[in-house]
Amino acid sequence: MGSITSPIREPLVTGNKTYHQITEDICAPTERAPSLSWTIAFTIANVLLGVFTFTSVWTVYFGIGTWDLNRTVGWGWDITNFVWWIGIGHAGTLISAILLLFRQKWRTGVNRAAEAMTIFAVAVAGQFPLIHMGRAWLAFFIFPYPNTRGPLWVNFNSPLLWDVFAISTYATVSILFWYVGLIPDLATVRDRASGFRKKIYSFVSFGWTGSAKHWQRWESLSLVLAGLATPLVLSVHTIVSFDFATSVIPGWHTTIFPPYFVAGAIFSGFAMVLTLMIITRHVLNLKDYITIAHIESMNKVILLTGTMVGIAYLTEMFVAWYSGYIYEQFAFYNRALGPYWFAYFAMMACNLISPQIFWWKKMRRNIYVTFIISIFVNIGMWYERFVIIATTLARDFLPSSWSLYTPTWVEVGIFVGSLGMFFTLFLVFVRVAPVVAIAEIKHILKTSGDQYLEEKKEYVKKQQFTEKE
Amino acid sequence: MANKKDVLFGLYDDEEILVDAVKEAKNQKFDIMDVFTPFPVHGLDPALGLSESRLHVAGFVFGLLGALTAFGFMTWINVVDWPIIIGGKPYWAVPAFIPITFELTVLFSAVGMVIVFYTICGLAPTGNTKVLDNRITDDKFCLAFDVTQMDESEKMELEKFFGNTGASEINTKTL
């Protein structure tokens, strides 16, 4: 292959792999019996999923009064969790779509798992508005369907309705994008399997053969889907931020919200990708495919988006002061020094300060530091949403309706349980499908495999030597 | 299947050898049935003489359909079917329609294009798979000829071609 990769680029596939070894390494986790660590993790995730089911049913049965929401705080942990999960669900499409358009080869190591994570995070996020409706069985009322009440239509001027369209579109397009990419790899698993497994994989791989024309269309489709998904991913969190920004609540009614939310979404999404990938590469032994170079690249994104989010926090503060509008000023004073000061402090410490450690290359390339920071970021981003939602609502225009809000065991259970739902889905995924895009790794092997880069280094050295003579 | 095909195919160990073989086959005016690879090989399409995919046209058409559907539907509801003043805005509140119009453009385009892709490639979850060799999705690169109508001498010639272009294996299979 006429490769044009610079020899100073770091290899993205290490261990002197051949095409066949790549297939072996990546298919192996789907073919062996589950390991003990997987079984333990799966059991815990299932217990938490049970907690989620129980608390959700409890909520639907007794009503959302069980959450102790009050007159002013109508959105508590529930919407915080919703925005948090939706944010996490942004990294997958970012990695697979935007990095595909930018021709970043390191995306191939992590895109498959990141996309899966996206889909699961969006699925989990979708549960929160659903149970928050109270009468979850009437959820279809949010869609504009011809009904016998007039027909009475939904309000197309409302950002909450835009959100319905944005999130359902995002979920659909993410699933399509992910599955189209998965088909050739499922075919690889199919061709290695036998018996009943072969039958199942024959169905799910849609009869893929690897024909040249199919590959051409597949690449064309991936590229156009990436082109569509790029503005889509930016629009989704923009619209989520409209839920707040188009209201007239001081602290929410700001034009900075869309870019700030999008940066925050990418930030939290990458943190979750790192958390998952560091565990996955270790447990499934994929260190040759998800290398330190991959982790370093993602840490750079964390540093960039974390700093962007930090600047947004500071800009909000400045604008509140500069606006001369006392209610806006109070909203921000209250955020930092009011009853929820600890949440604000956690947000600042985790999101703005902790990622700054990644200015040092040694830290970016350190697995342990990366893992700890990724957890910090996950926590920090949850607090960010809590700060935006709860602190703002707890201090209303009328001091007589000021209140404090603390979650009940039901809400805590739903949140902890949602982690269970997410990890259950992810753990099933790593057992049944290749976690790394096999075909795409093979595609970049000759430009980014360590043995080929080494060859090129030798070649360049020789060239320089002859030039000197 | 209606017509059974006899396929003579060679397996190559590397995509560079395969592309050279395809070029050689084109030179010798052999009628290539298909080429199967474990991953998209760049440089193969021009060698095979495949024209660029027009799938993106489908994407555009479906996207346009989505945009018109969304915008038209919202206009009809808010202007004709049930006009209602919301937040002091006009009935035909165009800026407020933009987000949903955009989302449905993307949705229609993506769904439509994926359906077209599966349809024209003949991919469906039917469970029957016609694979020449199980290693094609692993590390073998396959060049296949349809030899149903050929006599022995022509087959011999193809086998010689495979030998000369560095195929590691030559097999036949009826699909």
Residue B174 has pLDDT above 90, yes or no: no
Specify whether B99 is located in the same domain as B149: no
pLDDT at B1: 45
pLDDT (0 to 100) of residue B28: 85
- Domain, as residue range, for A223: 19-140+155-454
Q: Which residue has the higher pLDDT, B2 or A47?
A: A47
Statement to judge: residues B16 and B74 lie in one domain: no
Calpha distance A291→A288 (Å, rounded): 6
- Asked if residue B128 is part of any domain, the answer here is no
Whether residue B78 sits in one domain with residue B59 = yes
Number of domains in chain B: 2
Q: Is there a domain that residue A461 lies in?
A: no
8 A C-beta contact, residue A430 and residue A284: yes
Q: State whether A161 and B81 contact (CB < 8 Å).
A: no
pLDDT for position B2 = 55
Q: Could you tell me if residue A468 is inside a domain? A: no
Number of domains in chain A: 1
Residue A319 is encoded by which pair of tokens?
């604008």
Domain containing residue B80: 55-121
Interface test with A, best of B35, B103, B130 (most A CBs within 10 A): B103
Does B96 fall in a domain?
yes
Say yes or no: B45 and B71 in one domain. no
B68 and B46 share a domain? no
The reply to whether A11 falls in a domain is: no
Residues from chain B contacting residue A172 (CB–CB below 8 Å):
107, 110-111
Whether A207 sits inside 8 A of B126 (CB atoms) is: yes
Residues B62 and B89 placed together within one structural domain of the fold: yes
Query: Does residue A248 lie within any of the structural domains?
Result: yes
Each residue's pLDDT, cut to its tens digit, for chain A (469 residues) gives: 445 667 777 888 888 888 888 888 888 888 888 888 889 999 999 999 999 999 999 999 998 889 888 888 888 899 999 999 999 998 888 888 888 888 888 888 888 888 999 999 999 999 999 999 888 899 899 889 888 888 889 999 999 999 999 999 999 999 999 999 999 999 999 988 888 888 889 899 898 888 888 999 999 999 999 999 989 999 999 999 999 999 888 889 989 999 999 999 999 999 999 999 999 888 888 888 898 989 999 999 999 999 999 999 999 999 999 999 888 899 999 999 988 999 999 999 999 999 999 999 999 999 999 999 999 999 999 999 999 998 888 888 888 888 888 899 999 999 999 999 999 999 999 999 999 988 888 888 888 888 887 877 777 777 777 766 5
Same structural domain, B151 and B115: no
Contacts of A160 (CB under 8 A, 6+ apart): A243
- Identity of the residue numbered A150: G
Question: B104 vs A165: CB contact, 8 Å cut-off?
Answer: yes
Within a domain: residue B1? no
Say if B126 falls within a structural domain: no
Which pLDDT value is given to residue A1? Answer: 40
Show the 3-state SS of chain A: CCCCCCCCCCCCECCCCCHHHHHHHHHHHHHCCCCHHHHHHHHHHHHHHHHHHHHHHHHHHHCHHHHCCCCCCCCCHHHHHHHHHHHHCCHHHHHHHHHHHCCCCCHHHHHHHHHHHHHHHHHHHHHHHHHHCCCHHHHHHHCCCCCCCCCCCCCCCCHHHHHHHHHHHHHHHHHHHHHHHHHHHHHHHHHHCCHHHHHHHHHHCCCCCCEHHHHHHHHHHHHHHHHHHHHHHHHHHHHHHHHHHCCCCCCCCCCCHHHHHHHHHHHHHHHHHHHHHHHHHHHCCCCCCCCHHHHHHHHHHHHHHHHHHHHHHHHHHHHHHHHCCHHHHHHHHHHHHCCCHHHHHHHHHHHHHHHHHHHCHHHHCCHHHHHHHHHHHHHHHHHHHHHHHHHHHHCCCCHHHCCCCCCCHHHHHHHHHHHHHHHHHHHHHHHHCCCCCHHHHHHHHHHHEHHHHHHHHHHHHHHHHHHHC
- Indicate whether A10 belongs to any domain: no
ipTM over 0.90: yes
Residue whose token pair is 């809000």: A405
Check residue A4 and give its pLDDT: 61
Asked if B15 and B32 sit in the same domain, the reply is: yes
Residue A395 pLDDT: 87
Q: Which two tokens stand for residue B63?
A: 């996207």
Residue A12 lies in a domain: no
Is B98 an 8 Å CB contact of chain A? no
Residue A4 inside a domain? The answer is no
In this structure, what CATH number is given to the domain that contains residue A285? 1.20.1630.10
- Name the residue among A157, A207, A232 with its Cβ closest to that of B106: A232
**Does residue A344 fall inside a structural domain?**
yes
Q: What is the pLDDT of residue A2?
A: 45
- What is the pLDDT at residue A53? 95
Domain-embedded: residue B129: no
